[in-house]
Chain A
């Protein structure tokens, strides 16, 4: 057998992260949980090592016979997932410790999920894609139920598991039909495979496969009409897990989704209207539902549904000739930074207040901690897409890609719903700055959370002022 196409180095980031997860498990078992406080360092070390390998790739050749790629999309996906981990793990461990959740399991499952996410972003063939989806999903099911004593957490885990398995069924069935009719498992070759069968009866089988696969992926990104699980799972899961789901998992799912749609460019007239309808419905429903939430966590959950709509708009654009995933790649990073930080802030503010994520907890935050209130405003405005923050550039790129691809109507809808989003995001800001606090006393951040919030805020500003930085990095390192 010829192993010249093996190239293990291409998989090093995934191997490092999964190895870190195994090591955490083993150490936890070996020390019988007595050294759990140190495990977060082990995890972070593996993440940082993986980041170093991503930034400094030994090779840009695909690995494992073409099933693991390292193109800009893969690079962006991996970096985004790892960045989310760096931001979330320290805060997550503190959260787990303060609520008596198993830390070692939190860490190792997060690392396993991250492995799946990274593999999803860099998957070169359908089997790896499916395995990656399953690895990340199963880890997340367990993470969702980590707070097992609380009914909402159990319910979230079960809902997520059953709905996820259901969707995985569609995904797998779709893949089977698709690869069967195209005669290949290689994602990049799907397009030519489908072109070969166009006009024959097999075309219809392939089309069914495309639809089912897209349905499965739409579920994974939480788009309408497959979004019903989102609110319950996001609000029931431990907040740090929700943060992870809504950032890294979503970014990875979009990376995989984008890769599949890019390959299906030759049958774009079949799926573009589908994705378009879902994108439009997602933007409308997500934004309006987020608007009426009185609960910060649910508001963020629905806002992440809304963002899925904008990202779908960016994905749609690749149906047109000559369009790349650039807009989607760019959109994801600031979205992930802002959301990760906001969920952690939500956990902190809620813990200091009502304990159940009421928006009222934000009243008068500016009096209690002006820096936090300022950064909260920055992050929320970043999500809303205010210039000069990166969220604006992301939306701008997505909308202009949609216009270039001829979806002007949807782009206009996107802009209109963004206005609704501004209302949503401004509500906590107004509470924080223009209302009297219900509780007095300063609300101090610990070092880890302060780090996360500052890094996220600075990232939003930097990416907004200098968007090419990230895009050029992706284009320069991933080839």
Chain B
């Protein structure tokens, strides 16, 4: 077995990272006080008494879809900022690329709208 000093350092780093996670996890499990009562064990539901099984109701899928749409357009903005900043450098090529990108997103948006995803029913 042959490890040079940098290798050891790397191993130590990995080890420390693992140890830290482990220690904190175990500490929370064993050190935390555990006193349960009925109210504490109940699922959190804005203060109201929960009705039925959580499997039946759940969160409506639509929340996720809208959230994903939000993220998609968020990322679009993240792409557009650096392009706008270096617009003069990228020139026509940059413009075309961004238009292609926006076009693809536009088709996606068109699809989403036609599918009635944002029509809240």
- Residues in A lying within 8 Å of B, measured CB to CB: 1, 3, 6, 22, 25-26, 28-30, 32, 200-205, 208
Say whether B10 contacts A208, CB under 8 Å. yes
Query: Given known contacts A1-B89, A1-B93, A6-B93, is B107 in contact with A26 (CB within 8 Å)?
Result: yes
| Min distance, Cβ A402 to any Cβ of chain B, angstroms | 28
Give CA–CA (A32, B4) in the complex, Å.
65
In whole angstroms, how far apart are the Cα atoms of A25 and B108 in the complex? 8
Q: Which of B69-121 contact A (CB under 8 A)?
A: 89-91, 93, 104, 107-108, 110-111, 113-115
Contact A3 B93 (CB under 8 A): yes
B9: which A residues are within 8 A, CB to CB? 201
A204 to B11, CA, bound (A): 10
What chain A residues lie within 8 Å of B4 (beta carbons)?
Answer: 201, 204
Size range of the interface on B?
Answer: 10 to 19
Is residue B7 contacting chain A, with contact meaning CB distance below 8 A?
A: yes
CA distance A28 to B9 in the complex (A): 57
| B111 near A26: Cβ-Cβ < 8 Å | yes
Q: Is there an interface contact between B10 and A25, defined as CB atoms closer than 8 Å?
A: no
Is A201 within 8 A of B6, CB to CB? yes
In-complex Cβ contact of B7 among A1, A32, A204 (8 A): A204
Question: Could you list 8 A-B pairs, sorted by A, with CB under 8 Å?
Answer: A6-B93, A29-B114, A30-B110, A32-B114, A200-B6, A201-B5, A201-B6, A201-B7
- From residue A54, how far is it (CB to closest CB) to chain B in Å? 21
Task: Give A374 Cβ to nearest chain B Cβ, in Å.
Answer: 44
**Per a CB cutoff under 8 Å, which of A29, A201, A203, A205 touches B111?**
A29
Q: Report which residue of B89, B91, B104, B114 has the largest number of chain A beta carbons within 10 angstroms of its beta carbon.
A: B114
Which residue on B lies nearest to A104, using beta carbons? B111
| A22 with B104: CB separation less than 8 A | yes
A208 to B11, CA, bound (A): 11
Chain A residue at minimal CB-CB distance from B115: A29
| A205, closest chain B residue (CB) | B10
Beyond known contacts A26-B107, A26-B110: 9 more, CB 8 A cutoff: A1-B90, A1-B91, A3-B93, A22-B104, A28-B111, A201-B5, A201-B9, A204-B4, A204-B10
* Cα distance A22–B113 in the bound complex, in angstroms: 15
- Chain B CB within 10 A, most for which of A25, A28, A32, A200: A25
- Cα–Cα distance between A6 and B93 once the two chains are bound (Å): 10
Q: How far does the alpha carbon of A208 sit from the alpha carbon of B104 in the complex, in Å?
A: 37
Which chain B residue lies CB-closest to A207? B7
Q: Smallest Cβ distance from B87 to chain A, in angstroms?
A: 12
Residues of B contacting A28 with CB < 8 Å?
111
For the complex of A and B, the 6 pairs showing the least CB-CB separation, nearest first, are: A201-B6, A29-B114, A29-B111, A204-B7, A26-B107, A25-B111
Question: What distance in Å separates the Cβ of B102 from its nearest Cβ neighbour in chain A?
Answer: 12
Q: How far is the CB of A65 from chain B (nearest CB, A)?
A: 11
- Identify the closest chain A residue to B104 (Cβ): A22
Contacts of A204 in B (CB 8 A): 4, 6-7, 10
Q: Which of A26, A28, A200, A203 has most B Cβ within 10 Å?
A: A26
Closest to A26 in B: B107
- Expressed in whole angstroms, the Cα–Cα distance for A28 and B112 within the complex equals 11
Contacts of A1 in B (CB 8 A): 89-91, 93
Which residues of B have CB within 8 Å of A203?
A: 6
* A114 → B minimal CB distance (Å): 16
Best-surrounded residue of A3, A200, A204 (most CB of chain B within 10 A): A204
Shortest CB distance A35–B (Å):
13
Q: How far is the CA of A32 from the CA of B93 in the complex (A)?
A: 34
**Known interface pairs A201-B6, A204-B6, A205-B10; A25-B93 also in contact (CB < 8 Å):** no
Contacts of B115 in A (CB 8 A): 29
> How far apart sit A3 and B4, CA to CA, in the bound complex (Å)?
45
Contacts of A200 in B (CB 8 A): 6
Provide the bound-state CA to CA distance between A204 and B7, in Å. 6
How many angstroms between the C-alpha atoms of A22 and B109 in the bound complex? Answer: 11
- Min distance, Cβ B57 to any Cβ of chain A, angstroms: 19
Give Cα A204–Cα B93 distance, bound, in whole angstroms: 40
Cβ distance B92 to chain A, nearest Cβ, rounded Å: 9
- Docked complex Cα distance between A201 and B91 (Å): 43
Question: Quick one: CB contact mask for B1-44 with A, threshold 8 Å, 1 for yes?
Answer: 00011110110000000000000000000000000000000000
**Given the complex, which residues of A lie within 8 Å of B91, measured CB to CB?**
1
Q: Which residues of B contact A208 (CB under 8 A)?
A: 10
Contacting residues, chain B, for A26 (C-beta < 8 A): 107, 110-111
Q: How far is the CB of A282 from chain B (nearest CB, A)?
A: 27
Inter-subunit contact B107/A22 (CB<8 Å): yes
Nearest CB of B to A117, in Å: 18
Please report the C-alpha to C-alpha distance between residue A208 and residue B113 in the assembled complex, in whole angstroms: 46
Min C-beta distance of B47 to chain A, whole Å: 32
Neighbouring B residues of A201 by C-beta, 8 Å: 4-7, 9
A123 to B9, CA, bound (A): 34
Which residues of the other chain, A, contact B10 by a CB distance below 8 angstroms?
204-205, 208
- Whether the pair A29, B104 counts as a contact (CB closer than 8 A) is no
> Which A residues touch B104, using CB under 8 A?
22
Query: CA of A22 to CA of B100 in the docked complex: distance in angstroms?
Result: 11
Chain A minimum-CB-distance residue to B90: A1
CA distance A177 to B98 in the complex (A): 30
